[in-house]
Amino acid sequence: MTGKALEVRSLTKKIKNKVIVDHVSFEVEKGEIFGLLGPNGAGKTTIIRMIVSLIGRTEGSVHVNGHNLDGEFKESMSEIGAIVENPEFYKYLSGYKNLLHYANMARQKITKERIEEVVRLVGLEKAVHQKVRTYSLGMRQRLGVAQALLHNPSILILDEPTNGLDPQGIREFRDYLRSLTKEGISVIVSSHLLSEMQLMCDRFAIIEHGKLIHVSSIDTLKEADRAAQNVVFEVSDSDQAIHLLMEHKLGAEAVKSGNGQFTVSVDKETIAAVNQLLVTNQIKVYGIQLVTATLEDRFLELTGKGRKEEEASVLSS
């Protein structure tokens, strides 16, 4: 069980006869940002609460940097820093005094040098001596990350950390998380904001109805997009253009969309071939636009497929 920051195997949570989380397994590499994606109520927070032992597991195991959470609880938990709910602080104290308070409660000795180090890491040097009641939500989130990092964990777990942040705050927070991975820290982030997670994560897992239905990397998503993507052509005669494409077997599923436009699924090299074919046959090409697939598109495709399979299973039973 070495080489991975976190390994989750068959994680399951049942309450009475209801399955909340159903045999979820995944791994998190060292120094990566791993996203747990899914709609509210999908089971993301329950998974996180089981990992950090806020609630018990019905089945399954958790290994943190090779330590089994069951047999090596203290060693495992010393590797984890987490924000499961919105971070709460004493608002009448400064950010620094809040961190000092938490440091004094820690099981291990945390020096003032370490406090100053995490303050620099999250970019709060200028505000750390101000009272927390003057902080914006984004600043409180960063202070929460600083608190979670005080004991120098190797894994940071954040549950919906961008809730309530404005676009600028989300961007800054994303940059802070990326800087943490450069320090060798692994980050697990749960969210339902798919477009934001596409910018933030190295890999992602999609959770629906307590089940893990897909794990992939953002790079794989981009490569699939480059391999075959929808392209919109605006031409002088879309009917004739589609006829030519079918005749020469270029692309797939050419669909007319009105206003002289049609959409076809092709790879990068075929785009040039389609354009050449149209021009050679005296069809004017006014525009070519790539329709880039997003994580949201993939999410909807996968969750829609999952629902159809569930419906088919119910109907056949």
Q: Which residues contact 259 (CB under 8 A, 6 or more apart)?
A: 234
Look at residue 292 in the predicted model and tell me its pLDDT. 60
**Residue 293 pLDDT exceeds 60:** no
- 29: domain CATH number is 3.40.50.300
Shared-domain flag, residues 170 and 208: yes
* Half-sphere exposure of residue 8: CA atoms within 13 angstroms, side-chain side: 24
Look at residue 313 in the predicted model and tell me its pLDDT. 43
Structure tokens at 303: 């969750």
Shared-domain flag, residues 136 and 276: no
Shared-domain flag, residues 120 and 169: yes
Shared-domain flag, residues 110 and 168: yes
Calpha distance 20→85 (Å, rounded): 19
Look at residue 10 in the predicted model and tell me its pLDDT. 95
**Residue 201 pLDDT exceeds 70:** yes
**Is 41 in contact with 208 (CB distance < 8 Å)?**
no
* Whole-angstrom Cα Rg for the chain: 25
pTM, rounded to two decimals = 0.72
**Which of 175, 192, 222 is at the close of a domain?**
222
Shared-domain flag, residues 54 and 188: yes
Shared-domain flag, residues 48 and 101: yes
Q: The tokens 């450069």 sit on which residue?
A: 182
Domain assignment of residue 149, given as a range = 4-222
Look at residue 14 in the predicted model and tell me its pLDDT. 94
Look at residue 316 in the predicted model and tell me its pLDDT. 45
**Is 11 in contact with 60 (CB distance < 8 Å)?**
yes
Ramachandran category for residue 53: left, alpha or beta (phi over 0 → left; psi -120 to 50 → alpha): left
* Nearest residue to 46 via CA among 8, 6, 12: 12
Shared-domain flag, residues 130 and 276: no
**Is 187 in contact with 180 (CB distance < 8 Å)?**
yes
Calculated CA dihedral for residues 228, 233, 237, 242, nearest 10 degrees = 10
**Residue 303 pLDDT exceeds 70:** no
163-193 pLDDT per residue, tens: 777 788 788 888 888 888 888 899 999 887 7
Residue 53 inside a domain? The answer is: yes
Look at residue 317 in the predicted model and tell me its pLDDT. 43
Calpha distance 195→94 (Å, rounded): 34
Residue 305 inside a domain? The answer is: no
- 258: domain CATH number is 3.30.70.980
Number of domains making up the chain: 2
Burial class (CB within 10 angstroms; exposed 0-12, middle 13-18, buried 19+) of 287 = exposed
